[in-house]
Amino acid sequence: MPETSVKIEHRYLELPDSFYSRVKPTPLKDGRVVCFNAPLAEDMGFRAEKPEDWAGVGSGAELLEGMDPVAMKYTGHQFGVYNPELGDGRGLLLWETLGPDGRRWDWHLKGAGMTPYSRFGDGRAVLRSTIREYLCSEAMAGLGIPTTRALFMVSAKDPVRRESIETAATLLRVTQSHIRFGHFEFAARHQGEEALRALLEHVINLHFPHLAELPEQERYRRWYEETVERTARLIADWQAVGFCHGVMNSDNMSIIGETFDYGPYAFLDDFDAGYICNHTDQGGRYAYNRQPNIGFVNCQYLANSLLPVMEEDDVRRGLRCYETAYNQRFLGNMRRKLGLTRETDDDLTLIMDTFSMLHEHHIDYTLFFRGLSNLHSQGNAPVRNLFVDRSVADAWLERYQSRLQQEEIVGDERERQMRATNPKYILRNYLAQQVILEARNGDYQPMERLLEVLKRPFDEQPGNEAFAAPPPDWGKHLNISCSS
Ligand code: AMP
Ligand code: MG
């Protein structure tokens, strides 16, 4: 089935064998391909005419020549507590392919059955969580935020026990690398220096080739700095679109700085700085406003893992890059959202006051910034009407308009740029919930339609306005748990 322009590799298997276990998928019954990402398949060098041909692979019933599935071993900190027992408990790395543009793709079948790292789990993923991951990875890609991708999903009849009985599904998740911070924690704590070096060199050679020729200490130092910076920038991008990950454990942190492992995530509707999207996270460790700090804590876990092979001073210096990279990216993102191209000293105060106002008055985060992106063409009403107390909006708008006086790019041109950064369409929880209910009845059209909308989140899309609506009452406080 692979095209001639595709090269098959399995470079992960070059790591010491402690990093994986060979495991065959446990097949699902009557699996069928219900969503297939044709444009992505084509980018990867695969023909997309017959998605149903992938049902065998997706159900775990068939392996293509060259596939050699393994469960990856990693450990990590979960809610601040180290857990040595982690690893792919329900996903398998099938192979790696190189597309026509030379890009590497890991193929990971999530929900493929039990592995030596399943602990108490059944190795399965339910339809609900598989749809949620598919939707959100594609929504993130549409927003231009680094993320794993969804190539296709399979839905099957096998029952899976969660809070109630649900049905099984699998996701063929693809990305340049499935290596996590937790891989480094595993190597450093349990395997020793040689394994750690092997992992580090592997990651640099495959994913940071521009550093590969540097002398060793410089290579490691620059790599760590870059990894820290990518992580900081990723989280600044999440903050800017109001994304809450929900389970920022170090085993869910991608070493190449992508959004990784979508569980109980959410995009903010009404702005709430302390929003906790995961109802099992009672202490709010991963609340929206704690994400930047948690990103730093995860970089510290990674730092500790690197001490056996790096100078302590270099690690410390690398860690310091986090704050600088985060602040710079965050400020840049927020300036763009407000349409401020000239930098003034008061910008940070304006930004922080804006957040306080949105929080205090429970203003829909996405509609607010989209409204600002249309002030010139649509007037103040779309922004004002978000406020119960219009005088708050008026005072803020007056301050904002006076700040805009200092801008050189004005009117339509500024707002065109703002619309390219303030999405109209985001994956609100209630939208995901609706397509899940339809999919459970066997109808995947609504999911396909939502995916089409989320591909172009910055476009106006006449006819699709309903997808930009704030949640109806039933959709405001959906409980999203870790159970997936
Ligand atoms: P998460 O926090 O969802 O990324 O999962 C943490 C760990 O639990 C990972 O090692 C997963 O592979 C494993 N896990 C999650 N759900 C299951 C399941 N249903 N069966 C086996 N392992 C699981
Ligand atoms: Mg995980």
Q: Tens of pLDDT along 436-450?
A: 999 999 999 999 999
Residue 297 lies in a domain: yes
CA of 448 to the centre of ligand 1 (A): 27
Output the average pLDDT for the chain: 97
Least distant ligand from the CA of 73: 1
- Rounded to the nearest angstrom, the distance between the alpha carbon of 250 and the centre of ligand 2 is 9
Dig out the tokens for 391 from the structure: 């005088």
Q: State the distance from the centre of ligand 1 to the C-alpha of 466, rounded, in angstroms.
A: 35
435 within domain boundaries:
no
* Tens-place pLDDT, residues 161-177: 999 999 999 999 999 99
Q: Are residues 93 and 221 in the same domain?
A: no
Tally of structural domains, the chain = 3
pLDDT at 48 over 90: no
**How confident is residue 145, by pLDDT bands cut at 50, 70 and 90?**
very high
In one letter, which amino acid is 94?
Answer: L
pLDDT, residue 1, reads: 67
365-387 per-position pLDDT tens digit: 999 999 999 999 899 999 999 99
Same domain, 279 and 391: no
Whether 20 and 81 map to the same domain: the answer is: yes
Pocket test residue of 73, 85, 251 for ligand 1, highest count of atoms within 8 A of CB: 251
Q: Is residue 425 part of a domain?
A: no
Best residue for ligand 1 mutational test, from 81, 114, 119 (most atoms within 8 Å of Cβ): 119
User: Please, what's the largest Cα pairwise distance for the chain?
Assistant: 67
Task: Domain of residue 366: give its range.
Answer: 339-419
52 lies in the same domain as 81 = yes
Give the closest residue to 69 by CA, choosing from 106, 99, 32: 106
Q: Identify the domain boundary among 366, 395, 419.
A: 419
- Are 22 and 166 contained in the same domain? yes
pLDDT at 476: 86
* Confidence class for position 142, pLDDT limits 50, 70, 90: very high
Instruction: With a cut of 70, say whether residue 481 has pLDDT above it.
Output: no
Confidence check: pLDDT of 462 > 90 = yes
Residue nearest to atom 15 of ligand 1 (CA): 89
The residue whose CA is least distant from atom 17 of ligand 1 is: 121
**In a domain? residue 28:** yes
- Residue 49 has what pLDDT? 83
* Nearest ligand atom owner, CA of 117: 1
d(CA 183, CA 69): 18
Residues in CB range of 156: below 8 A, 6 or more apart: 28, 29, 30, 31, 32, 59, 167, 168, 169, 170
Q: Quick one: pLDDT at residue 482?
A: 67
Q: What is the average per-residue pLDDT within 185-206?
A: 98
**CA-closest candidate to residue 248, choices 211, 223, 229, 276:** 276
Q: Ligand 2 centre from 251 Cα, in Å? A: 6
Atom of ligand 1 nearest to the CA of 251: 4
| Statement: residue 3 has pLDDT above 80 | no
Nearest to 245 by CA among 264, 273, 227: 264
**Residue 398 domain-assigned (yes or no):** yes
- Identify the pLDDT of residue 160: 98
206 and 304 share a domain?
Answer: yes
Q: Which of 419, 453, 479 is the last residue of a domain?
A: 419
Does 195 share its domain with 306? yes
Q: In this structure, which ligand is nearest to the CA of 125?
A: 1
Whether the Cβ atoms of residue 298 and residue 286 lie closer than 8 Å to each other: no
- Quick check: is 266 in a domain? no
Reported as a single tens digit per residue, the pLDDT across 86-122 is 999 999 999 999 999 999 999 999 999 999 999 999 9
What does 177-227 look like in DSSP terms, one character per residue? ---BHHHHHHIIIII-HHHHHHHHHHHHHHH-GGGTTS-HHHHHHHHHHHH
Task: Answer whether residue 469 shows pLDDT above 80.
Answer: yes
Nearest C-alpha neighbor of 470 from the set 340, 382, 394: 382
Contacts with 414 (C-beta within 8 Å, 6 or more apart), sequence order: 339, 341, 376, 404, 407
Same domain, 47 and 72: yes
From 90, 92, 253, the mutation candidate for ligand 1 (largest count of ligand atoms within 8 A of CB) is: 90
Residues 49 and 75 in one domain: yes
Residue 323 pLDDT = 98
Q: Do residues 114 and 75 both lie within one domain?
A: yes
> Which residues are near ligand 2, the ion (C-beta closer than 5 Å)?
252, 261
Ligand 2 centre to CA of 248 (Å) is 9
Percent of the chain with pLDDT over 90: 95
Is 190 found in the same domain as 168? no
Per-residue pLDDT at 262: 98
Cβ-count burial 46-68 (b if 16+ within 10 Å, e if not): bebeebeebbbbbbbeeeeeebe
Classify residue 431: in a domain, yes or no.
no
- Contact at 8 Å (CB) between 148 and 136? no
By annotation, the residues acting in catalysis are 251
Cα 68 to ligand 2 centre (Å): 21
Q: What percent of the chain has pLDDT over 70?
A: 99
Q: If 0-12 CB within 10 Å is exposed, 13-18 middle and 19+ buried, where does residue 9 land?
A: middle
Based on the domain organization, do 327 and 348 belong to the same domain? no
For residue 136, the SS3 value is helix
- 470: in domain: no
Last residue of a domain, one of 115, 142, 175: 175
Which residues sit with their C-beta closer than 6 Å to ligand 1?
A: 86-90, 117-118, 121-124, 247, 249, 252, 261, 263
Ligand 1, residue 249: give the atom nearest the CA: 2
